[in-house]
Amino acid sequence: MAQAANMSTEAFENFYFDVCTMDYDRMARAMEPLEARMKAADEVVIKGPDTDLAFSIKGIGAKSCNGKLNIPDGEVFSCPVKNSVNGVIHFNTPTLYSGTRFENVRLEFKDGKVVEASSSNPKRLNEILDTDAGRGMSGNSRSASTRTSRTQCATSYSTKRSRDRSISPRDRLTKSRTTGTARRCTGTWC
């Protein structure tokens, strides 16, 4: 896992235990306004470099994942109304899917369907999108586009961990001095 994240084993271990020992109760309280706002929303618009995407979440609801059932955790998610996704999204972070590394993934949606897909490996990306009849339909759990269609408006947290290297990783789970400071919703996707 450390290699896939381009991190040293020690850096990844620290990252992992920082996330596992966060103040999840504090995170849950910080997520409540975002969850309420998403439940009341009709439309989501995401704009950024090479990204201009809009879709409806009307009637879908939202769910807060705040460490009660899973660790690490930390997201408020929903999904788009079928056929409502329109526009372009660009992912500037590399991702690994089924053993293939993808960089600079760019998807263009029209009425909930991927109509154009490009990446560092466009042939493989399109093969994945073509694996079933729902080719790139948002909300289709069997297509690779699902990873880009289930909205995760993730509330990010920064942590302050114990720098005491004499504490074992297992003990860090119980002795960590973690603080959770809410940051603005980043509009990231799963």
51-56 and 86-91: which strand pairing? antiparallel
Cα-flanking dihedrals φ and ψ of residue 174, to 5°?
A: -105, -20
Q: Is the model's pTM score more than 0.85?
A: no
Q: Tell me, what's the pLDDT at 59?
A: 93
DSSP state of 182: E
Q: Which helix (H) or strand (E) holds 22?
A: none
Tokens 């290699």 correspond to 3
Q: Tell me, what's the pLDDT at 172?
A: 34
Give the whole-angstrom CA distance, residue 70 versus residue 47: 30
Sequence ranges of the domains in the chain: 9-182
Distance from chain centroid for Cα 99: 19
Which of 13-22, 45-54, 127-136, 164-173 is predicted with the least confidence, judged by mean pLDDT? 164-173
Q: Residue 26: how many CA atoms within 13 Å on its side-chain side?
A: 13
Q: Please return the burial class of 147, using the count of CB atoms within 10 Å of its CB with bins 0-12, 13-18 and 19+.
A: middle
Cα-flanking dihedrals φ and ψ of residue 19, to 5°?
A: -70, -40
| Mean pLDDT for all residues in the chain | 75
Q: Which helix (H) or strand (E) holds 31?
A: helix 24-40
Contacts of 98 (CB under 8 A, 6+ apart): 128
Give the whole-angstrom CA distance, residue 56 versus residue 85: 7
Q: Tell me, what's the pLDDT at 173?
A: 35
Q: Give the DSSP letter string of 67-79.
A: SSS-SS--EEE--
Please say whether the beta carbons of 162 and 172 come within 8 A: yes
**6-40 pLDDT per residue, tens:** 899 999 999 999 999 999 999 999 999 999 999 99
DSSP state of 60: T
